[in-house]
Structure 1
Amino acid sequence: MRKDLLIRIVGGFVSGVVIGQIVQICISIGLGKGSYIAIVPEFSALFISETVAICTQIFLTGIIGVTFALAALVFEIAKWSMLKQFIVHFCMTAIVWIPIVMILWMPQTMANIFSLLASFIGTYIVTWLLQYKLAKRDIEKINAIFERGEFHDH
């Protein structure tokens, strides 16, 4: 395995766990009434002990991080259009992120499922539009350099 890929996997796992813990702190602030909630009770109820549930939660949030870290590699495929890159990245991350978030933190009601999907899709649309505008601006700058003849072969 390439060293850079291993670093990406480990970094993604650690990032996922850290972000998962931040989410848990936010949940505690919202629902804990001054106490830290290590794990949502509905998720904990799926396991034989709270320790196993917490270890599973840590593993799952790490998997989310690894997924995002590896899925980012699609943006390095230069022959793909930006739209294709975002669609593939969206599908890769949605397949992992949505079910894990539903299991870990969201009571499974139709309203919550709709809210989660809408926020994920909405975030993606906004991100794609911003990235598209930035890329278009960069391309215009590069084209202007070529048009002015400022590009020199070294």
Structure 2
Amino acid sequence: MKIIVRVISGAIVGVTIGFIIALVFSLLNQTTIFMPSTPAFVDRFSNNLMATLASAGLWALIGIVFDVASYLIFERSQWSITRQTVVHFVITYACFTPLAIIADWFPVQNYLISYTIEFVIIYVITWFISMQIAKAKVRRLNQLLSQKDS
């Protein structure tokens, strides 16, 4: 049951974030119509409404990928933070990358390497912050334990 809730919440969050990002890019590019994705993606469809519908489907899938992966991986408290981060990276990279390519967010030949490097950097930063938070929690727990023993 929890997984169904995560699928639904992931889809809602994905569509919401995707719509907001597309709206911001439409405004920044001063388009006269809402652009749900790149012009190359929109051109694949008979009209803007169908492109928006397809984009919403992709946004929902992206949200589901990240929400379900987070739920399945970061709830495993017996795994180390490093293992959680690496497994989450592999799953989200493997699932998100094809969706981003389908959405025409970057040309594969020119940007796949830089996209991958950016993805790795984001995960290294996330891992580092998670480790710092965990270390702070351990310090606080040790302080509490040492105060109890006194």
One fold, TM greater than 0.5?
A: yes
Residue aligning to 1:77: 76
Root-mean-square deviation (Å): 2.0
- Report the Cα offset of residue 54 of structure 1: 2.1
Distance apart, 1:111 and its partner CA: 3.8
| Alpha-carbon separation, structure 1, partners of 2:36 and 2:51 | 10
Name the structure 1 match of 2:117: 118
Contact 1:106 1:112 in 2 (8 A): no
Q: Name the CA shift for 1:60/1:28 in 2 (closer, same or farther; >3 Å).
A: same
Within the candidate set 54, 63, 66, 1:68 is matched to: 66
Question: In 2, Cα distance between the equivalents of 1:104 and 1:57?
Answer: 7
Q: Give the deviation of 1:33 after TM superposition.
A: 4.3
| Aligned pairs (5 A) from 1:43-122 | 43-73=41-71, 74-108=73-107, 110-122=109-121
Alignment correspondent of 1:14: 12
Match of 2:23 among 25, 28, 43: 25
User: Residues 35 and 48 of structure 2 are in contact (CA less than 8 Å); yes or no, is this contact kept in structure 1?
Assistant: no
Name the % identity: 24
Task: Quote how far apart the aligned CAs of 1:120 are.
Answer: 1.5
8 Å Cα contact 1:67-1:96 kept in structure 2: yes
What displacement does 1:18 show?
0.7
How far apart are the structure 1 equivalents of 2:27 and 2:55? 19
C-alpha deviation, 1:25, in angstroms = 1.6
Question: How far apart are residue 5 of structure 1 and its match?
Answer: 2.5
**How big is the shift at 1:71?**
0.8
Report the residue type matching 1:56 in the other structure: A
> Structure 1's 144 and 96: CA in aligned 2 closer, same or farther, altered over 3 A?
same
Alpha-carbon offset, residue 135 of structure 1 = 0.6
1:5 alignment counterpart: 3
Aligned length: 148
1:77-133 deviations in Å (ceiling 9; x for gaps):
111111110111111111122221233142415443233222221111111101110
Q: What TM-score comes out, normalization by structure 2 length?
A: 0.85
Gaps spanning 5+ residues in structure 2: where? Answer: none
TM-score (normalised: structure 1): 0.83
- Measure how far apart 1:64 and its partner are: 0.7
Aligned AA (2:37): I
8 Å CA contact 2:14, 2:64 repeated in 1: yes
- Report what 1:143 is aligned to: 142
Q: Is the 8 A contact 2:37 2:105 kept in 1?
A: no
